[in-house]
Structure 1
Amino acid sequence: MSTSVDDAVRTLLLLMPRMVGRAKRTPPPPELASFNLAPRHLSLLSYLLLEGALGVGELAARLEVAPATVSLMVGDLSRKGVLRRREDDADRRRTIVSIAPEHHAAIDGWLGRGAAAWRVALGPLSDEQRALVVSTLLAFERALGADAD
């Protein structure tokens, strides 16, 4: 299948707003609605959902933000009962963060749908093709950011 750059751009210009709109129309489940979760919380929760418990430093590196920023988000969500914090038994200076068991199913039902959809879309591709999709989306994001500067 051959598609010109302009044909691909036209298709994506129609597709991207539909994808964003669908994501925005997926509200948090009722048991999480009162927590006023912001987009930055969704990325943090997604990592914890996919990876399991992680240290604050690991979360900061994956989210590409300062550890202090993650500590603030974790503190906020811990006070609300969404997350659990504990000391690492091997290194008492390290804080391990996980989704509170009582909210895990709701978060999985909510955010897990997106991960499952990406698995369906990316699963049939080779490693190289998946890398191309990801690098293309990252390049698109950088190009949008360059326009804003």
Structure 2
Amino acid sequence: MSTVDATVRELLLLMPRLVGRAKKLPVPAELHGFSLAPRHIALMAYLLCDGPLTVNELATRLEVAPTTASLMVGDLSRQGVLDRAEDPADRRRTIVSIAENHRAAVKAWLAGSANAWRKVLAPLTSDERELFVATLRAYDQAIAEDGP
């Protein structure tokens, strides 16, 4: 069994490589003309996995201010990547979805990462997967607390 310090060393060496690979996820050719950046991956993943969401729901899930989410959505909707529609139940709310003609390209953009996660998580038990995600969340929280 490794020590905490030995594990920390391994993770310090591994994390930059993981982040670097995530940043290099190739944007499909169909989406090359758009100003897509790594920050859009999470937004697109929520919309792809969870379906249409309001701007406030996206802001909550992305852990950003509603104005930040609104700016991202506005930019991507002007480019035609996202569709915005009035919520029929409450006209003050805007429902955001991936534009149907770009859905396949967005799915392809996220597929490499999703497939890699499936491959490494499939052999784990449900409890092990939950522990893994909980550990990553705790790391994220600790970084946020200790960061600038």
Q: TM-score, normalised by structure 2?
A: 0.86
Q: Which runs of 5+ in 1 are unaligned?
A: none
CA distance in 2, matches of 1:71, 1:121: 34
Match of 1:59 in 2: 58
Cα distance in 1 for partners of 2:23, 2:69 equals 23
Moved more, 55-64 or 76-85: 55-64
1:123 aligns with 2:111: no
Matched, 1:39 2:38: yes
Opposite residue 11 of structure 1, the aligned amino acid is: E
TM-score normalised by L of structure 1: 0.85
In the alignment, structure 2 segments of 5+ residues that lack a partner are: none
Equivalence for 1:84? 83
CA distance in 1, matches of 2:97, 2:84: 7
Q: Which is worse superposed, 106-115 or 22-31?
A: 22-31
The separation in 1 between residues aligned to 2:28 and 2:15, in whole angstroms, is 24
Cα pair 2:82 2:99 within 8 Å, conserved: yes
Take 2:63 and 2:145, find their aligned partners in 1: how far apart are those partners? 18
The equivalent residue for 2:93 is 94
Percent identity reads: 60
The 1:145–1:90 alpha-carbon spacing in structure 2 relative to 1, beyond 3 Å, is closer
Mapping for residues 108-147 of structure 1, pairs under 5 Å: 108-147=107-146
| Mapped partners of 2:27, 2:96: distance in 1 | 21
Q: CA RMSD of the aligned region, Å? A: 1.9
Matches within 5 A, 1:4-43: 4-43=3-42
The one-letter code matched in structure 1 to 2:131 is L
Q: Distance in 1 between matches of 2:45 and 2:8?
A: 29
SS state at 1:45 partner: helix
Matched length: 148
- 1:107 equivalent to 2:101? Answer no
